[in-house]
A and B are shown apart, each in its own frame.
Chain A
Amino acid sequence: MKILFLGEASSLAIAQGLMHLGHEVDCPGSANKKLLQVPEACDVVIVAEDVGARLLPPGLEKEWLSAVPCLWMGGKPPLASPGHAMPIPLSASSTVETLQAILALLKVSAQQAQRNALLTKQVDHLRVAVDGEHRQARRMLEQFVHNETLSDPAIQSWTRPADIFSGDLLLAARTPAGALHIMLVDDMQKGTLAAVSTLPVVAPFYRMTEKGFGIDAIVREANSRIFRFYPEGCPVHATLVSVDFADGVIHVWNGGTPAPILLSRQHNESAEATPHAPLGSLPPAAFHVETDVWTFRDKEMLALGSGGLLRQLAPGADRAGALQAFRGWLEGYGNLQHALPEAPSMQSGGGLIARDDMSLIVVSCHRDQTSRQDRERAVEGASSVGQWKLSLSVGPDEMRSVDVVPLMLSAIAQFEAVKDMGGVLFVVLSELYNNALDHGVLGLDSSLKLGEQGMETYLDERAKRLAGLVSAQIELSLVLEQGPEGAGVVIVCRDSGKGFDYSDILNRTPSAKDDEPLPYGRGLSLVLSMARRVEFNTQGNQLRVELSLC
């Protein structure tokens, strides 16, 4: 070790002894000169009693002694041990051997200190990197979460983010029929993990809402996505609601976040949602979606609060207590029609800073008959392209004997507005009718078509089941409609079958772009690429396809 030895003639023997043991010893004190600078280039300072503090630069003693470990031989050190310095009193009789043992210990602790300093530095670096990631994750999510959709006139909302992103997400969008879908995601993860784990639910929410799926289908899809992406388990706590203003119906699915509350105007009655397991917690086959269905008359209020908000309102309360506090807090703000309450202070009673995001979304549930009137008016407006509706309903006998699609097509060809759409209409009608018949009514599975003789097997099975069919119905209708994107043809096909999980089928449908497609499953993707809108009903036994007039 490098030793700075401050002592005079009587103790120099010790310095020499240390030198013999291989230490590098500097003895400036023997020349009786003052040291002016803090010694940085040595590992340890040894001060011998006979020199005392005389050699230490006046006014700098403290800095001097705290810079490196200092061994004070004999007597008392002149200062209380400052900072991390270790002034160790030694008796005058200390031998070189004792010193050697102490030096060895010092060496170990110096190495330890060095390692600690390095670790601290690395942790600081990591913290900076992680903070940067959090900011980036939040920015990314904000891109995903089209904030403008929250400007929907029926919604008031705020989010109070915590220091680190902690997984609160508010999403809102309207279905083509005008129903409002809201999703509140309240993830238990923190930071980047929260941001990443919520991603698989954002895209299906918007995509499926746009296509007119019900929230039950969206919940099912979100669950299987999260389950597929994070099989080790990374459940996402979320609540989805759908508000149909025309019919006054609310569907609620509550999975792990505080239950949404529906408050009537007088606040004398309220409904609470049934809790379910969070998204991604069960394999798709074991995950059954049941929504609560509420009705509202008028001017009622639906409120969703995140876990962070409820914990802030009622620290330490259980589920029931927190909901009670939430309801009380909401009621305290009157009917909330105009002003949303302020976020509760981040400073809770105990003086703790909230580490969670806090989010609140409030929907004014007004009955709105105009959306229905709009739809009716749209049909009237279609007179410029004609005004007709064609519908056909067939039972088992007709399914066996009538060539339904060509029959409809030949009728359609008489109408001016759609006479050039034969190719597209044929594909859509035959796809809808054949799917309804083969899969909806006859319950055939397309995977029968696989293999060399697959198609034959499938057609034989189809003929057999069709021959034995006793009761069934398929309704096919075409109508011209004036939508926001201009005139269009709306084709609706409904069958008496038990219905399908269409979100599942859409996922399996091979893309038309695949180089090596399966011998089946192309139909629905064809329809999707031709239509400007495709909607399924919740049961999955009715498809509504909207095509632009060409």
Chain B
Amino acid sequence: MQTTVITTDARAVIKLEGRFDFNSHREFRECVDGVLQQGAIREVVVDLGGVDYLDSSALGMLLMLRDKARGCNKEVSLSNCRGAVKQVLDIANFGKLFAIS
């Protein structure tokens, strides 16, 4: 999986590409920690448009991001969810936990 971060003002978009599974743990975590350290950022958007597949540990990582972001008063949302990704997020009922678009 590849991660790209685009920051504009108080908003950071984390763009993920490829297969989002437990192998991506370290990469995702480092990326998230980097974004959350920036005090100016109030909103984190995870762009899942380039993700082919995600598994249950990816869901765990998204929850980890949500908890950490809450700890430093930042909002997290998921964007560009479609196909296989949307299917999994729906089944896991993530609509209740995140703003999803």
Instruction: Give the interface size class of chain A.
Output: 20 to 34
State which of B55, B57, B92 has its C-beta within 8 Å of the C-beta of A426.
Answer: B55
Smallest CB separation, B20 vs chain A (Å): 10
Query: B residues within 8 A CB of A341?
Result: none
A131 vs B59: C-alpha distance when bound (angstroms): 53
A427 near B55: Cβ-Cβ < 8 Å: yes
A405 vs B25: C-alpha distance when bound (angstroms): 17
Across the A-B interface, the 3 shortest Cβ-Cβ residue pairs: A423-B84, A523-B56, A426-B53
Whether, in the assembled complex, B97 has its beta carbon less than 8 Å from a beta carbon of chain A, the answer is: yes
Interface of B: prevailing SS: helix
Cβ proximity bits B7-22 to A, threshold 8 Å, 1 near / 0 not: 0000000000001011
Whether, in the assembled complex, A137 has its beta carbon less than 8 Å from a beta carbon of chain B, the answer is: no
Smallest CB separation, B85 vs chain A (Å): 7
A529 vs B54: C-alpha distance when bound (angstroms): 16
Instruction: Give the interface size class of chain B.
Output: 20 to 34
Query: A residues within 8 A CB of B25?
Result: 455, 459
A261 vs B22: C-alpha distance when bound (angstroms): 52
A519 near B63: Cβ-Cβ < 8 Å: yes
Q: Give the residues from 63 to 101 in chain B that come closer than 8 angstroms, CB to CB, to chain A.
A: 63-64, 83-85, 87-88, 91-93, 96-97
Smallest CB separation, A528 vs chain B (Å): 10
A409 vs B83: C-alpha distance when bound (angstroms): 16
In chain A, what residue has the closest Cβ to B92?
A: A512
Q: Give the residues from 420 to 449 in chain A that come closer than 8 angstroms, CB to CB, to chain B.
A: 422-424, 426-427, 430-431, 434, 449
Q: Enumerate 29 A-B pairs (CB-CB under 8 Å) in ascending A order.
A: A405-B21, A409-B53, A422-B52, A422-B53, A423-B53, A423-B83, A423-B88, A424-B84, A424-B88, A426-B53, A427-B55, A430-B55, A430-B56, A434-B22, A449-B60, A455-B29, A455-B60, A455-B64, A456-B26, A459-B25, A512-B93, A513-B93, A517-B63, A519-B64, A522-B56, A522-B59, A523-B56, A523-B57, A526-B59
A405 vs B83: C-alpha distance when bound (angstroms): 19
Seed contacts A406-B19, A459-B25, A523-B55; 7 additional CB < 8 Å A-B pairs: A423-B53, A423-B83, A456-B26, A512-B93, A522-B59, A526-B92, A529-B91
Cβ proximity bits A448-491 to B, threshold 8 Å, 1 near / 0 not: 01000001100100000000000000000000000000000000
Whether, in the assembled complex, A515 has its beta carbon less than 8 Å from a beta carbon of chain B, the answer is: yes
CB within 8 Å of A: which residues of B? 19, 21-22, 25-26, 29, 52-57, 59-60, 63-64, 83-85, 87-88, 91-93, 96-97
Whether, in the assembled complex, A530 has its beta carbon less than 8 Å from a beta carbon of chain B, the answer is: yes
Query: B residues within 8 A CB of A415?
Result: none
Query: B residues within 8 A CB of A459?
Result: 22, 25-26
B53 near A526: Cβ-Cβ < 8 Å: no
Query: A residues within 8 A CB of B21?
Result: 405, 430
Smallest CB separation, A439 vs chain B (Å): 13
A523 vs B53: C-alpha distance when bound (angstroms): 14
A423 near B87: Cβ-Cβ < 8 Å: yes
Smallest CB separation, B51 vs chain A (Å): 10
B55 near A431: Cβ-Cβ < 8 Å: yes
Cβ proximity bits A80-104 to B, threshold 8 Å, 1 near / 0 not: 0000000000000000000000000
